[in-house]
Amino acid sequence: MDPLSEFIRGITRDNPTFGLVLGLCPTLAVTTSVENAIGMSAGTAFVLVFSNLFVSLMRKQIPSTVRLPIFIIIIATFVSIVDMIMEAYSPSMYAALGVFIPLIVVNCIIIGRAEAYANRNGPFYSVIDAIGISTGFLLVLMLIGGIREILGSGQIVTFGHTLITLPINPSVTTMILPPGAFLTIGILMAIINYQKEKKRVRGE
């Protein structure tokens, strides 16, 4: 296996949102802004990298009959670390993400990669896979969060810095509400599926 191709696969073909269609609950809930998207992605990346690593290291010692409960214990350990660190050092982000930080424990992305990849591969490639999947998740959340934030408020503000301002008047406040999340991800998925179908027809 090529490490670079394994990394890129997590961004493209196995992208958790548009490729595997996993983790849609936090994707829809926290992408009201780019800042929230970055925070959620960072927490998920930490848990995914270390859970993949430990599952891979312990895969030969874990009986197959109890592997899922063991995976959840490993994942929950790192989720607890993220939860405590974020509450201590970034209380505003912790409040904004709310229940979706502890819910990383049951995020299908984390459990899915532990079962489908880390449980079958060595530590090095399991970490590469986790980094690729995390990068793909980050890019998707930032894209959706950016679209919703710019259309919903007319600007993108990240960690106290205004990155983009557009003269949208009036702003489409629906975009930062739940319907805006479904609308945004639905349009993006339709575009991606259309491009995939065009490639399939051309035989690429």
Count how many domains the chain has: 1
Does 61 map to a domain?
A: yes
Does 17 map to a domain?
A: yes
Which of helix, strand or coil describes residue 59?
A: coil
95: its two tokens: 């409040």
What number of other Cβ atoms are within 10 A of residue 94's Cβ?
19
Residue 17 above 80 pLDDT?
Answer: yes
Does 20 map to a domain?
A: yes
**26 in Cβ contact with 43 (< 8 Å):** no
Average pLDDT in the 31-47 region?
94
Does 195 map to a domain?
A: no
Does 183 map to a domain?
A: no
135: its two tokens: 């990068």
Q: What is the pLDDT of residues 140-164, one digit of tens each?
A: 999 999 999 998 888 898 888 888 8
| CA-based end-to-end distance of the chain | 22
Q: What is the pLDDT of residues 103-145, one digit of tens each?
A: 898 888 999 999 999 999 999 999 999 999 999 999 999 999 9
What number of other Cβ atoms are within 10 A of residue 93's Cβ?
19
Q: How far is CA 5 from the centre of its chain?
A: 19
Q: How confident is the model at residue 99 (pLDDT cuts 50, 70, 90)?
A: confident
Burial 27-52 (b: 16+ CB within 10 A, else e): bbbbbbbbbbbbbbbbbbbbbbbbbb
Please state the pTM of the whole predicted model.
0.90
Q: What is the mean pLDDT of the chain?
A: 90
DSSP for 72-91 reads HHHHHHHHHHHHHHHHHH-H
Q: How confident is the model at residue 72 (pLDDT cuts 50, 70, 90)?
A: very high
Q: What is the pLDDT of residues 167-194, one digit of tens each?
A: 876 668 888 888 889 999 999 999 998 8
Residue 185: the pLDDT is: 93
Burial 124-151 (b: 16+ CB within 10 A, else e): ebbbbbbbbbbbbbbbbbbbbbbbbbbb
Residue 197: the pLDDT is: 85
Does 164 map to a domain?
A: no
Residue 41: the pLDDT is: 94
Domain that holds residue 22: 3-146
Residue 164: the pLDDT is: 87
Does 9 map to a domain?
A: yes
Residue 165: the pLDDT is: 86
Dihedrals phi, psi of 28, to nearest 5 degrees: -75, -35
Cα–Cα distances (Å) from 83 to 52, 58, 138, 145, 188, in that order, read 18, 24, 18, 22, 30
| Type of residue numbered 65 | T
CA-to-CA distance for 53 and 46, rounded, in angstroms?
11
Does 70 map to a domain?
A: yes
